[in-house]
Amino acid sequence: MENKKVIFSGMQPSGSLTLGNYLGALKNWVNLQSEYDCYYCVVDMHAITVPKEPKDLRKNTLEVLANYIAAGIDPEQVTLFIQSHVPAHAELGWILNCFSYYGELSRMTQFKDKSKKQDSNAITAGLFTYPVLMVADILLYQADLVPVGEDQRQHLELSRDIAARFNNRFSETFKIPDPFITKDGAKIMSLQDPTSKMSKSDANENSFILLKDDVDSIRRKFKRAVTDSIGIVAYNDEQQGVKNLINIHSKISGKSIEEIVTTYEGKGYAQFKDDVAEVVVNELKPIQEKVDYLLKNKDYLEKIYIAGAEKAEYAARKTLRKVQKKVGFIPR
């Protein structure tokens, strides 16, 4: 236990999770849990950087936690918790804000994308400094590895920069974390525009699969998935839509890209799309049943997040105390 490397990762409860969240991150989290000392967090503090209804936030937070467990995260093995339950995240976040530069935060592509979607008077300071809170999440646990999708790569680079800056300014304090980004599932694309990533904030519901979508919706969304007029199931950059569907199939079925391409030789897209939908339906069905069960057992979820927060708090405080001392705060 002592010598295991540490993993930290989190998801925002900004809505229901998508197939992108699942294949890009959650599925890998499950695979890593026995080998590493894992901290998996529901990052509710990140979710309020854009306007959020309190009752939706509460509901989504529990739903995300239930999804973690339903997808196979073992709460006995992993520290599962809710970010706002461990105040050290906000405390280190503040300190690191004072070691982050306006210029570098202005260059964050997610900030640029997200702020474009907001009315310019409604872009909060929280949205701007959001990556610094993420850096605090990671550094508090001295994480070695951070399993995320491709879209988080730039934030991971920022974590490394800020950790190194702090270590240079004072002395060795933070472990420099490495991103853990898998090859094929790292960017699941929109089913309607395969050049942009699948995202729950997309206005077009046909563009994403939610983990809680019913069977008919899943089948319908895959039938409508945008492909091309070439008509051959092949894996290349000219056929982004088909490539995305092959990636989804492969990540779930475990079949290789070549095997999938060979299976559909001489067959059109219709059969292929239906089969991808079935692969997804079969993967999600047991998860959905478990989520329903867990959400009816809120006492059980509560036990898990309370125990998780205690364990997380212990590890987080250790780092925070060191940092506070180094910057010159007088201990109480």
Catalytic residues: 114, 197, 200
Strand 37-42 to strand 79-82: parallel, antiparallel, or no bridges (unpaired)? Answer: parallel
291 is a contact residue toward ligand TYM (CB under 6 A) = no
How far the first Cα of the chain sits from its last, in Å, is: 32
CB atoms within 10 A of CB 87: 13
Choosing from 50, 146, 191, 252, the residue that interacts with ligand TYM (CB under 6 A) is 146
Q: Does 138 bind ligand TYM (CB under 6 A)?
A: yes
Place of tokens 């959650």: 26
CA–CA distance, 192 with 222 (Å, rounded to integer): 10
Span from 149-157, 209-217, 219-227, 296-304 in contact with ligand TYM (CB under 6 A): 149-157
Q: Does 88 bind ligand TYM (CB under 6 A)?
A: no
- The reply to whether 43 sits near ligand TYM by the rule CB under 6 A is yes
Q: Tell me, what DSSP letter sits at residue 210?
A: B
Site for ligand TYM in 186-245 (CB under 6 A): 186-188, 197-198
The answer to whether residue 12 forms part of the interface with ligand TYM (CB under 6 A) is yes
Q: Is 129 in the site for ligand TYM (CB under 6 A)?
A: no
In this chain, which stretch among 95-103, 133-141, 238-246, 300-308 interacts with ligand TYM, using CB under 6 A?
133-141
Among 6, 7, 24, 222, binds ligand TYM (CB under 6 A): 24
- For 220-246, b/e burial (b = at least 16 CB within 10 A) is ebbeebbbeeeeebeeeeebbbbbbbb
Residue number, nearest CB to ligand TYM: 24
DSSP string, 227-272: --SS-S---STT-HHHHHHHHHHHHHH---HHHHHHHTTT--HHHH
For tokens 């105390």, name the residue. 321
How many chain residues interact with ligand TYM (CB under 6 A)? 24
Whether residue 280 contacts residue 222, with contact meaning beta carbons closer than 8 Å, is answered with yes
Contact window for ligand TYM (CB under 6 A) among 183-191, 217-225, 277-285, 296-304: 183-191
Query: Applying CB under 6 A, which residues contact ligand TYM?
Result: 8-12, 20-21, 24-25, 43, 46, 134, 137-138, 146, 148-149, 151-152, 186-188, 197-198
